[in-house]
Amino acid sequence: NQSLAEVDPEIAEALDAERDRQESTLEMIASENFAPVAVLDAQGSVATNKYAEGYPGRRYYGGCEHVDVVEQLAIDRLKELFDAGYANVQPHSGAQANTAVFFALLQPGDKILGLDLAHGGHLTHGMRINYSGKMFEVHAYHVDEDGLVDMDEVEALAREHQPKMIIAGWSAYPRQLDFERFRAIADEVGAYLMVDMAHFAGLVAAGLHPNPVPHAHVTTSTTHKTLGGPRGGVILTNDADLAKKINSAVFPGMQGGPLEHVIAAKAVSFKVAMGDEFKDRQRRTLEGAQLLADRLLKPDMTEAGVSVLSGGTDVHLVLVDLAKSELDGKQAEDRLHQVGITVNRNAVPNDPRPPMVTSGLRIGTPALATRGFGPDEFAQVADIIAQTLAPDFDDDKAAVLRGQVEALAKQFPLYPSLAHA
């Protein structure tokens, strides 16, 4: 049993370099986070060796008595966290959680209604070359000129097309959705309402965002974004019949053996999410996003053509609008990379620039809040970002800002207890 460095020095070196990258830069990709060491430990455990097709107490393999404990704890904690009657913790990812729900409740060719990808929706909500776009007849709703989901359009499209499922949820949207109205529309046209809370689940768990579970027929999520756990997916419902259909769509419908090591890590992250430290972290996440939005709405930014979609944020991310700026999304992403801040460029609604360039940035605060950042640090970061997007940015300025980023990163060491491989 040799160490990773002995068995595979090339992989060990790449992983060490990745850890150094995470340590020395400021991670602001809105869908990323840092899982705690306890989660990494569970995921790197011997549970990776175990086959456990089936569900706790109903397995198709022997020797499942301990992974049954693991999976049952994950299920029970997830139900408690989101006040749900039934939970499935086996989907390998968020996309697979959504696939399982579609397989459980829809037939090929059925109509679905989701938020347009270019307006903040996810690939699995009906993008043309995603399986969701190929398997189903997709209709898309949009955001209005204020950047808010146009609920009147949702209602009109639902009445016109009578979809079998309405999907509420997003990958790039800075506000809360009106789950009650979504459900009323779904009920009126006899559709299922699926809420995909992948991005904002951590805020829900902390009580800082409305819980969609009581309103949706089915709620899906990832576990690795604001929730701060291992990469993976989950499905929740309060309906016993739907729960049965979903379980059988996940296994044997779509997956084979569950990843019990990942499920162990999910269980740990759900326990962490029940604590006061987690609530405080989500509060700082929201505060950080608001400080960033406020900074980017100041006159110096407005003069440079920089703005913020919907005029602010209620969640963990800010969508920067560069449609009126000389700087495009690609250049802005590169500039921020140069100073050590990682973000992703993002199309804005009705984007005048091509998809590989875009006119927007999506900037999120969950990973830095996990690292320990509070209002003072987020205010500094907001100012560094503003200076990086300003018209007078040059290599000299970049060097100074990079120094500030490194100092902030050093103040909040990441994984200090982990030795390099």
Residue numbers in the known binding site for (6S)-5,6,7,8-tetrahydrofolate are 117, 121-123
Active-site choice (181, 231, 330, 397): 231
Q: Which residue numbers belong to the known binding site?
A: 117, 121-123
Q: Which helix (H) or strand (E) segment is 114 a member of?
A: strand 111-115
For ligand PLP, the closer of residues 198 and 389 by Cβ is 198
CB nearer to ligand PLP: pick between 227 and 348: 227
Which member of 164, 175, 225, 266 is catalytic? 225
- Could you tell me the two tokens for 349? 């609604």
* Annotated catalytic residue 225: yes
CB of 167 to ligand PLP, least distance (A): 9
Q: Contact 220/204 with Cβ under 8 angstroms?
A: no
Residues that bind ligand PLP (CB under 6 A): 31, 93-95, 122, 124, 169-171, 196, 198-199, 222, 233
Write down the catalytic residue from 27, 196, 328, 377. 196
Q: Considering 51, 300, 353, 406, which one is annotated as catalytic? A: 51
Check if the beta carbon of residue 218 is closer than 8 Å to that of residue 246.
yes
Provide φ and ψ at 419, rounded to 5°.
Answer: -80, 150
**Closer of 174 and 340 to ligand PLP (Cβ):** 174
Closest-CA residue to 328 (of 392, 389, 395, 394): 389
Minimum distance from residue 182 beta carbon to ligand PLP (Å): 15
Give the nearest residue (CB) to ligand PLP: 94
> Please, which residue, 265 or 409, has the CB nearer to ligand PLP?
265
222 catalytic, yes or no?
yes
CB of 122 or CB of 281, closer to ligand PLP: 122
Q: Tell me how long the chain is.
A: 421
Give dist(CA 225, CA 32) in Å, integer. 5
Nearest CA-CA partner of 278 in 172, 205, 327, 193:
205
Query: β-strand 192-196 against 165-169: which pairing, if any?
Result: parallel
Q: Which of 25, 219, 220, 222 is catalytic?
A: 222
The residue among 54 and 233 lying less far from ligand PLP, judged by its C-beta, is: 233
- What is the nearest approach in angstroms of ligand PLP to the Cβ of residue 281? 20
* C-alpha count within 13 angstroms, C-beta hemisphere, residue 2: 7
Question: Which of 8, 16, 23, 53 is an active site residue?
Answer: 53
DSSP assigned state of 172 = S
Minimum distance of ligand PLP from residue 122's CB (angstroms): 4
Closer residue to ligand PLP (CB): 227 or 409 = 227
Closest CA to 296 of 347, 249, 336: 336
Find the largest Cα–Cα distance for the chain.
67
Give the CA distances from residue 335 to residues 7, 70, 94, 139, 327, in Å, rounded to whole numbers and listed in that order: 38, 44, 30, 37, 10
What is the nearest approach in angstroms of ligand PLP to the Cβ of residue 91? 8
Q: Is 53 a catalytic residue?
A: yes
In the complex, minimum distance from the CB of residue 234 to ligand PLP, in angstroms, rounded to a whole number: 11
Residue pair 266/47 in contact (Cβ under 8 Å)? The answer is no
Cβ neighbours of residue 39 under 8 Å, at least 6 residues apart? 228, 229, 230, 265, 268, 269, 272
Tell me the closest approach of the beta carbon of residue 190 to ligand PLP, in angstroms: 25
Rounded CA separation 149/130 (Å)? 22
Structure tokens at 118: 């270019």
Contacts of 272 (CB under 8 A, 6+ apart): 36, 38, 39, 228, 229, 278
Asked if 396 and 372 count as a contact pair (C-beta separation under 8 A), the reply is: no
- Is 277 marked active-site? no
**187 is written with which tokens?**
């009920």
Catalytically active residues are 51, 53, 196, 222, 225, 231
